[in-house]
Structure formats: structure tokens, C-alpha cells
Copies of this chain bind each other. A is one copy, B any other.
Amino acid sequence: MELTGPIMLSDHRYGKAENRIVRIYRDGVRHEIRDVNVSTVLRGEFADAYVAGDQSKVLPTDTQKQTAYAFAKKPGLQPVEDYALALAAHFVNEIDPVRRARIELEEYAWQRVSVGEREHDHTWVRQGPEVRTATVTVAGKETDQRAWVIGGVDGLVILKSTGSEFADFLVDDFTVLEPTHDRMLATSLTAQWRFAETTGVDWDEVYAGIRARMIEVFATHHSKALQQTLFEMGKAVLRAYPILAEVRLAAPNKHHFAYDLGRFGIENHGEVFHADDRPYGLIHATVAREDAPDAGPAWEP
């Protein structure tokens, strides 16, 4: 097939990625910290920059950076979702060619240290590897304006040493896997949940609650497959938070293979494992409310 039609600019967007902003609240002796990695993405009337090299409608990515740091002072980063909503609305409302702004954000957790049983006022250690994520989209001018908030967690590494099986699966000519009724199950969970509201939400409380709920289901649900566990986790989260429209989960099956010690006369009843790097299973699931409002551009990158 030889295509002969005219060549044109189709979808386009631009922004400043990975602004590493740390915000200290030092209103009294006891400080608070919020530590984020913020990316801005703008869509709008920027075609001339691509097609003709005309920058007259282009807000420099450097300016987007300055704005991201300025907004960290006020309204500030407490909580991060309100910061992202304000920053996105600023770009759409104040910069004429911007039609849609998206703020993508990772928040790194810090744990206040204790000194002799007492919490210290201004020292923390990093907690991880998991990070909290937030993705906010604001689209449209004035009365047409709408906003979407997606919360999430990335890199939540969780493992159970029993209570998981995988059996009775489809078998073809390339199937050599043995069924098992007791295996280790481990993943590094990425989850994102879309809110049906963008105001009046206690973002920090909801984040903590969802995280706890997902962990609880992973731990207590007897798993017939990682697929099933993911679905149960999503269901539990939606049940607990009617403000959520949907949950998307992506979970690598981090394989732990029971090591063959029988060759050396050593029994290994689910005690010694090799944690393999690659390849890994990768399972995706979206769990949604049937009456979820339209996602609009919430999931568009």
C-alpha cells in the first residue's frame, strides 16, 4: 500500500518533566515535609510551533517549571492533589492558547524519626520503595471547564509466603508448567483510582485507606491466581470508597522459584526460593462501577 495523502500534524503536547520540588512547612518548631516529582503537560493551540517554528503561543517549559515551584509555596503541596488541581487550572485559565493541562506527580514518603521514643521536629528518613502518584487533568475554559483526579500508588512490593495456588489452567503443546496448590505470591503493585469528585475529598485519608484495603485483601484472600487477587483488591477498594469511579491495577508476577535442593539430599518445603528477575508475568485489570461518570481525557497521557 502506497499512501499519497497530505502529511499533517496530528496529536501534540509538551511540558516540563520531573521538577524535583521539596516543600517544608515551618510554621512552628515542628516542620512538615512534602517531596514530589512534578511534570506538566500542556495541550492547545501549539501547532504553529511544530509546523512553522512560530513560538508566539508557546509558554516555555522553563516558565512551567517556575510556576510549578511558585505554586509549591502557595497554595502549597498539602495535599498534592489540590496543588495539582490549582497548577493545572492556572495554565488553562491564565495562558490563552492552553486548552488542557495535565499534572503528573509522584510523592516520596518520609517517616519522621524518633529520638528516644519522641518524634523529632525536623528530621525524617525516606520510606519506600513505593511512591504515591497523582494525575490531574483540567480541560476547557470557564464554564466548560472540567477536572479529573486520578490517585495511585507505584512500586508497592508485597509478598505472601502461602495462601496462593495456580492450577487447572489451559494446557497446549508448549505447556510444561506444573500446577501448584501452595506457592509464594509477590508483586510490585501499580494501582490508579479515578475519583468521581475533585472537591471536598480528604485526599491523604483516602490514600491511606485504599492502600490499607489493598494490602488487607492481598494478605487475606486465598488466591487462585494473581488475576483473581487483583480483581478482589479493586472490588474492595470501590466498595469502601463510593467516591471512586474505577481502579486500574498492573501487577508483575515476581516469580519466586522453589530451589531444587533434593539433588543434595536436602528437603525444601517452600523454604528456599530463587527470586528471578526476568521474565515475569504481567497482569492488568480494570475494575469499575457501572455508574461511573465519563473518564473524559483523564487517562490520556
Could you tell me the distance between the alpha carbons of A25 and B6 in the complex, rounded to whole angstroms? 41
Choice from B158, B215, B272 contacting A69 with Cβ under 8 Å: B272
Is A231 at the interface (CB under 8 A from chain B)? yes
Q: Which residues of B contact A17 (CB under 8 A)?
A: 252, 278-282
Could you tell me the distance between the alpha carbons of A267 and B277 in the complex, rounded to whole angstroms? 27
Is A287 at the interface (CB under 8 A from chain B)? yes
Is A92 at the interface (CB under 8 A from chain B)? no
Q: Which of A133-141, A144-152, A202-210, A257-265 has 4 or more CB atoms under 8 Å from chain B?
A: A257-265
Q: Mark A1-40, 1 if CB is under 8 A from B, else 0.
A: 1111111111111111111111111100001010100010
| Nearest chain B CB to A257 CB, angstrom units | 10
Q: Mark A49-65, 1 if CB is under 8 A from B, else 0.
A: 11111111111111101
Q: Do residues A243 and B2 form an inter-chain contact, with CB atoms below 8 A?
A: yes
Q: Do residues A1 and B122 form an inter-chain contact, with CB atoms below 8 A?
A: no
Q: Which residues of B contact A8 (CB under 8 A)?
A: 287-290
In the A-B complex, the 10 residue pairs with the closest CB atoms: A53-B224, A5-B291, A126-B157, A123-B219, A5-B290, A61-B281, A50-B231, A55-B169, A10-B286, A20-B275
The bracket for how many chain A residues form the interface is: 35 or more
Q: Do residues B172 and A63 form an inter-chain contact, with CB atoms below 8 A?
A: yes
Choice from B12, B227, B242 contacting A49 with Cβ under 8 Å: B227
Q: Mark A262-301, 1 if CB is under 8 A from B, else 0.
A: 0110111111111111111111111111111100000000
Could you tell me the distance between the alpha carbons of A9 and B116 in the complex, rounded to whole angstroms? 27
Q: Which residues of B contact A94 (CB under 8 A)?
A: 172
Q: Which of A161, A245, A276 has the most CB of B within 10 A?
A: A161
Q: Do residues B159 and A123 form an inter-chain contact, with CB atoms below 8 A?
A: yes
Q: Do residues B7 and A235 form an inter-chain contact, with CB atoms below 8 A?
A: yes
Is A256 at the interface (CB under 8 A from chain B)? yes
Given known A53-B224, A58-B170, A225-B55, contact A215–B113 (CB-CB < 8 A): yes
Q: Do residues B270 and A156 form an inter-chain contact, with CB atoms below 8 A?
A: no
Given known A50-B228, A129-B126, A224-B55, contact A242–B286 (CB-CB < 8 A): no
Q: Do residues A57 and B170 form an inter-chain contact, with CB atoms below 8 A?
A: yes
Could you tell me the distance between the alpha carbons of A278 and B57 in the complex, rounded to whole angstroms? 24
Given known A115-B220, A290-B5, contact A50–B170 (CB-CB < 8 A): no
Could you tell me the distance between the alpha carbons of A21 and B20 in the complex, rounded to whole angstroms? 21
Q: Do residues A18 and B69 form an inter-chain contact, with CB atoms below 8 A?
A: no
Q: Do residues B9 and A231 form an inter-chain contact, with CB atoms below 8 A?
A: yes
Q: Do residues A70 and B264 form an inter-chain contact, with CB atoms below 8 A?
A: yes
**Selected A-B contacts with CB under 8 Å, 26 pairs:** A1-B196, A3-B245, A4-B289, A5-B292, A7-B234, A7-B288, A11-B285, A14-B282, A15-B282, A17-B280, A18-B278, A19-B274, A46-B227, A51-B228, A55-B169, A59-B172, A60-B169, A63-B175, A69-B259, A69-B272, A70-B261, A72-B272, A95-B170, A128-B128, A129-B129, A173-B264
